Amino acid sequence: MTDPSEHISLAFDLAPVGLAVTRDRTILACNPQFAAIFGYRPGVLEGRSLSLLYPSDEEYRRIGEIGLAEMQRSGSYHDERIMKRRDGSRFWCSVRGRSQDRTSPFARAVWTMIDISDARPIVDLTRRERQVAMLMTEGRTSKQIAEALGISPRTVEAHRGRLFDKLGVRNTAECVARLSGLPVPGAR
């Protein structure tokens, strides 16, 4: 009979998705796929802050606030966002996390990361446009996005308009489809 811990170790090491165990948003352990997604060799990321993998400190802070609130509510979190590789290049990543304890979600959590850049366009977006895009893909209205970002709905609409231009789309449905990696029939 084999030791169950061998199976767990094998599953962690060979998982086709990036896996990381964190404590207070610091990587305790991650599998080779997680390291590869971000352009690192295995073992390099252990003991490093997740902030290293975000496009900016502001996005690390803001997404952390959003994730913390959701994990306190439900114990888990999911989004699709732009992350940063070791070489500085950016890519779309599907992120899922689950906390061990809802009352202190970041104390210990497990995260999966999947590179979805093949299905998503990387367009030169500003930090605020990335934030608006991320919230749009969650189905939030301009008013909800404005509340989440602490800006006016009119400013959100201006950012949405620039997103439409940059992505060559005509409306929110086409924009979300393009950001989601879906074909957009008739888009410019």
By the 10 Å C-beta count (0-12 exposed, 13-18 middle, 19+ buried), 135 is classed as buried
| Residue limits of CATH 1.10.10.10 in the chain | 127-179
Domain 127-179: which CATH number of 3.40.630.30, 1.10.150.120, 3.40.50.2300, 1.10.10.10: 1.10.10.10
- The sign of the torsion formed by the CA atoms of 78, 117, 112, 82 equals negative
CATH, range 4-119: 3.30.450.20
Task: Say what the pLDDT of residue 33 is.
Answer: 97
Round to whole Å and give the CA distance between 115 and 120. Answer: 10
Q: Which residues make up the CATH 3.30.450.20 domain(s) of the chain?
A: 4-119
| Average pLDDT for 109-115 | 97
Residues 2-14, mean pLDDT to the nearest whole number: 86
Q: Give the pLDDT score at 166.
A: 87
For the segment 118-138, what is each residue's pLDDT rounded down to a tens digit?
A: 877 677 788 899 889 888 888
Mean pLDDT of the chain: 90
- Asked if 122 and 182 count as a contact pair (C-beta separation under 8 A), the reply is no
Band of pLDDT at residue 174, cut at 50, 70 and 90? confident
Weakest-pLDDT range from 29-33, 130-134, 173-177, 183-187? 183-187
Q: Is 85 helix (H, G, I), strand (E, B) or coil?
A: coil
